Chain A
Amino acid sequence: MSTLLIANQLQRSFHGRTVVEPLDLTLSQGDILGLLGPNGAGKSTVMRMLCGDLAPSSGTVHIGGDDLLHQPLPCKRRIGFLPERPPLHLDQTVDEYLVDCAYLRGLGRADCKRSLLLSKRQCGLESAGSRLIKKLSKGYQQRVGLAQAIIHDPQVVILDEPTDGLDPAQIRQVRELIQMLAESRGVILSSHILSEIQATCNRVMILQDGRTVYSGSLSTAKTPCYRMGLEKELDKNVLAALPSVASVERLHTNYFRVTLQDGFSPSLLSRMIIEQGWELIELTPETLTLEQRYLEATTGGGS
């Protein structure tokens, strides 16, 4: 997969107050990167810097190999951006608006027509072409916003809260559209809704007060923690004395959370317990869900 976007030490201050601390980010074809964080965490500022709407105080953004600061025009041709509030001209029809958008992104007359049909089909707007945007429902207006972001077939699509205000059926349609877009592009989307990110993205970056507190895969990574159940009643200090165990926490009755020391496997632990005759009834690896990871990152602070 080719790398489409690289942000290096991207930082932004407003009047001496740092709103985004130095941040590194890469996006490849096929990636759907979710920017997650509470309101005011700096998600929209990061997105505005990535699409060239806002200049970073320091750091660089490379899109398709070009520097956004020094060669903004080729970079911006490769970006489609849907801000939090869709930039719609409400007194235009959908077709007029999308043609103007295509026109401003440098498409020729023939390409405009083809791109209009394609983007309308992708966003489910075939029947709405001649309707005034102000007469459309919020869901349809959001689709028009999405259509303008992809009308020039950009390599990188940046979507700020794309499912905001949509009903469940529309949310599912937008998710499917994003996944389809990511087949040949890279997509960055922001949300403060965990389930939204979990359902759509394959990578996540969690921001808190402008700081990146977690960046990585969204797959539920295994931790060295195990939930263990014993038939026999046991003091947790006895368990903690085992050579492979780093720490033990009693969950309830005979159930414990056991953290293994580096280099020790759960099979070794189970063998030790059986040898001691403590009658093992459960040994399950604990995984961090996105919610746990988010709460750990935003309240604990560590990545």
Chain B
Amino acid sequence: MASASSRVLLRRRAAGVLLRERLRLGPEPPRRAVSHFTFYPDPEPSEYGPTQKMNLFQAITSALDNTLSRDPTAVIYGEDVAFGGVFRCTVGLRDKYGKDRVFNTPLCEQGIVGFGIGVAVAGATSIAEIQFADYIYPAFDQIVNEAAKYRYRSGDLFNCGSLTIRAPWGCVGHGALYHSQCPESFFAHCPGIKVVIPRSPVQAKGLLLSCIEDKNPCIFFEPKILYRAAVEQVPVEPYHIPLSQAEVLQEGSDVTLIAWGTQVHVIREVATMAQDKLGVSCEVIDLKTILPWDKDTICKSVIKTGRLLISHEAPLTGGFASEISSTVQEECFLNLEAPIARVCGYDTPFPHIFEAFYVPNKWKCFDALRKIINY
């Protein structure tokens, strides 16, 4: 019986097609919740040379490829990285650059980051992959107590600035507690590291290359729901998008909307809804770098609009929206026309079957936006 089942599996694999077990159930599987966002691609960039159609994971591969080809010290490592990674971000790199430069480590996140710090301390370019942001916590000590403090505690004698830690991040539709988390605010509380989250393939490549070349240890969180869903024309050659600079994606006059990662696409749609349904003009900002963050761009915008809505997937309490909100009320108190709104995940672990209710989708953001407009 076991053999039979596995034969099915093997035949399927051999043939390279899905063989359907006839389950003879209801005619249609239950409807899965549709995606909570619509991806807004950016126009094709013209300033960095020829482009190719890439999704987000291919844009990451392209950035890593550029790095390996130009920097002979660069190494890339982590769990299952050698065969291409579970999200396919390192496909082909081992064959192209050798197994001493793109390799598997044993299954141990604290080991991966500790090892990575050492590679960087010795002067090489060190690119670690943690398989999911949810699994970064065994490495918390190495990141927070070691990577973040190397330069400071040694009086700048030593540093691990050439370390970049990549990790898939955020909700994905069915990831539940341990494949959905957005832990950026844990790290935002940690002076000495940089935390960056891209919204798209073009951004991912330019920001990742900036992280790799930045002289400080960086954590680069990749919205995993965008790996395949987000496709853009991405420059083939290396290019850099500056860290710690937010980007105004849409100018507006009535309310400022801030997000990062996948959530940028949610607030873009909300901005369109606000215009269409309420005649409200929104300024949409992608924060991009969580630490150190671009206070000026945000405050300048709020001074203009007088209203602010911040949205992130991570739980509300202690989320990075709190930090932004607190800074904005310090800097822009007299400009504010309404309380700052935060539309975030609830203060619960990320639930599997309730994801559609958990995420701060466009309806929740629109609901909150209406309230601050009518305040």
A and B co-occur in one complex: no
Measured CB to CB, the residues of B under 8 A from A are none
